Structure 1
Amino acid sequence: MGLATAKIVGRDHTVVLCDVRQDRLDDAAATLNDLGVDASVVNCDVTDSGAVAELLGAASKLGTVASVIHTAGVSPSMGPADYVMRTNAVGTVNVNEAFYATGGEGSVIVNVASMAAHMLPAEFVPTAQFPLALSDGDAFWDAMMAACDPIPEQARPGYAYALSKTFVKWYSQSQAERFNQRGLRIVSVSPGSVDTEMGRLEEQAGAGAMVADAAVPRWGKPEEMAELLAFCASEKAGYLTGTDILNDGGVIASMTERARVAAAG
């Protein structure tokens, strides 16, 4: 999704790509350069706040940072719960807070949440602990991992994923007023099952069944997500902030309606 978005944003902006894998960075840069997109690369682990600050600093040297489209994240099949939580939740805090500190007026950050952020029952979400992310990182981490502890081990990465993405959605909504005080916008997008390498990893873990039962029974295309991400980051969306846009082919709508019908029957 990040590369597909860079192809659109790169039509009229200089693009800085970030990833932890140099081979993927090099391939993406080559693809963009072939399209005439001016792209530079920075190898950066979003879980390292110092590295993220250096990333934003490097981007600032190329000109005013117009937008950050934060697509870095991992899915349940990619590692244990702590790895998923650190990448998705802590990584989001690191990237957003670095952007908040350096973004110029009119800039925007677009975070990637997930339709999973719309699935957890409220009683399973330690929302009261979420603000610790801004005041006490260690306490935030402990609270998030403590929430995972009661979950059976085999299901823990999936729960950590849903919880981390629920946090991303909460952060993108709750911090809008603070960001606006600096002239910044903040938005999140919640994709459904997207036909990417990471998305297909989850096909046998439940994503395939959800796609089959969706209002639009197919996988989403990276380009469909990219168009939305690029729009959110553009001046056309200047009134859009503090909200999450669910782009899931109707999965959540279908699940919600089926549950209502079942309960009524």
Structure 2
Amino acid sequence: MTSAAERGTRDVLVVIGVGGMGEAIARRQGTGRTVVLADFSQAALDRVGDALRGDGFEVVVHLVDVSSRTSVAALADAAGDLGRVTQVVHTAGLSPVQASRDAILAVDLLGTAHVLDEFERVIAPGGAGLVIASMAGHFLPPLPPEVSHALATTPSDELLALPVLASIAEPAGAYSFAKHANHLRVRAASAGWGAKGARVNSISPGVISTPMGQQELAGESGAQMRAMIDGSGTGRVGTPYDIADAAAFLLGPDASFITGTDLRVDGGVVAAVSTGRLDLRGGR
């Protein structure tokens, strides 16, 4: 067991959201680091934390509500107290089958903004951040430039008051909108993170076989999602380890010249749609 002094000099990996992707990334990136697992669910933290400890990882768990700036700030401060925060991965989110329009905007939109803001304060020089967005953000129709600018730069505490949000009525629309906004917020945040000597990027997964993904496949959009898989270049559902592999690249030294960008890890779905191979209105 490491002492308090030894822990203070260690590199710290923070994983927010301990679902399938979060756990896979923690396992891929956590060796030799203090792993801070954060989630809204104590039961999920206990399950994943115990499993990682049993496999030899040094783990600290922390309850967090990403929709609360105070809660995210407390998490950032706690991680900073443990050592050098060199990697931050934000996977927490709600999908349309799980939550209401308001909850999705509070967690997926505002929550991401809070994480980008608060971890910019504590990220170590040479560190990297990663936001898990979604390919759904690439299907949103083009926004007016002034709306995109507002989504990218409006102070986090004012985000949910933007007039454009009044036009969003359904959970599915809120999800796509929030994930597109994630791309914009990451772009804007890259300058502030860069001033700290750090990078930040996002990944847009496709259909991934996590508990959330399985819920979506069983829901109203399941038929469309299966058409996406069938019409994609790879023709298969993704795994959490596909996302962990991409995360390892973006968080690591081989991506030292990459920041403020989004990497689609979707099996080719967006490519199929954008080139007309796949029509989301009627399948292939």
TM-score (norm 1): 0.90
Residue 141 of structure 1 deviates from its aligned partner by 3.2
**Does residue 250 in structure 1 map to residue 250 in structure 2?**
no
- Cα deviation for residue 124 of structure 1 reads 7.7
Regions of 4+ moved over 6 Å:
none
Residue 256 (structure 1) shift: 1.6
Structure 1 CA distance for aligned equivalents of residues 144 and 101 of structure 2: 16
TM-align CA RMSD: 1.9
Residue in 2 that maps onto 1:88: 108
CA distance in 2, matches of 1:109, 1:161: 21
- 2:203 maps to what in 1? 189
CA shift for structure 1 position 259: 5.7
Aligned-partner Cα distance in 1 for 2:22–2:123:
20
Give 1:1-20 correspondences, 5 Å limit: 1-20=21-40
Counterpart mapping for 1:1-265 below 5 A: 1-123=21-143, 126-131=147-152, 133-134=154-155, 137-138=157-158, 140-149=160-169, 156-203=170-217, 204=219, 205=221, 206-258=224-276
Per-residue Cα deviation, 1:54-95 (whole angstroms, up to 9, x for no partner): 111111111110110000111111111111111011001111
State the SS of the aligned residue for 2:85.
coil
Structure 1 position 13, deviation (Å): 1.3
Q: Which residue identity does 1:216 align to in structure 2?
A: T
- Give the conservation status (yes or no) of the 8 Å contact 1:190–1:246: yes
Supply the distance in 2 between the matched residues of 1:192 and 1:10 (Cα, whole angstroms): 24
**Secondary structure, aligned partner of 2:94:** coil
What is the one-letter code of the residue matched to 1:89?
Answer: L
Stretch moving more, 121-130 or 37-46? 121-130
Partners of 1:121 and 1:110 in 2: CA distance = 24
Q: Which letter maps to 1:227? A: D
- Contact 1:192–1:248 (Cα < 8 Å) also in 2: yes
- Structure 2: where are the runs of 5+ without partners? 1-20, 280-284
In the aligned structure 2, how far is the partner of 1:124 from the partner of 1:160? 17
Find the aligned partners of 1:138 and 1:242 in 2 and give their Cα distance.
Answer: 22
Alignment check: 8 A CA contact 1:130 1:140 kept: no
Q: CA separation of 1:207/1:22 partners in 2, compared to 1, >3 Å: closer, same or farther? A: same
Alignment check: 8 A CA contact 2:201 2:260 kept: yes
Q: C-alpha deviations, 1:146-168, integer Å up to 9, x for none? A: 1314xxxxxx1111000000000
Letter in 2 for 1:121: P
Q: Which structure shows the bigger proportion of residues in strand conformation?
A: 2
State the alpha-carbon separation in 2 of the partners of residues 201 and 139 from structure 1: 28
CA distance in structure 1 between the aligned counterparts of 2:117 and 2:158, rounded to whole angstroms: 16
Q: Quick one: distance in 2 between partners of 1:165 and 1:158?
A: 11
Q: CA deviation at 1:139?
A: 5.4
Is contact 2:120-2:192 (8 Å) kept?
no
CA distance in 2, matches of 1:75, 1:35: 30
Provide the C-alpha distance between the structure 2 equivalents of 1:118 and 1:170, rounded to a whole number of angstroms.
Answer: 11
Whether the aligned pair in 1 keeps the contact of 2:138 and 2:270 (CA below 8 Å) is yes
Q: Is the 8 A contact 2:152 2:187 kept in 1?
A: no
Matched residue count: 254
AA matched with 2:116: N
Q: Give % identity.
A: 31
Q: 1:140 to 1:79 in 2, by over 3 A?
A: closer
Higher normalized helix content (fraction of residues)? 1
* Kept after mapping to 1: 8 A contact 2:135/2:270: yes
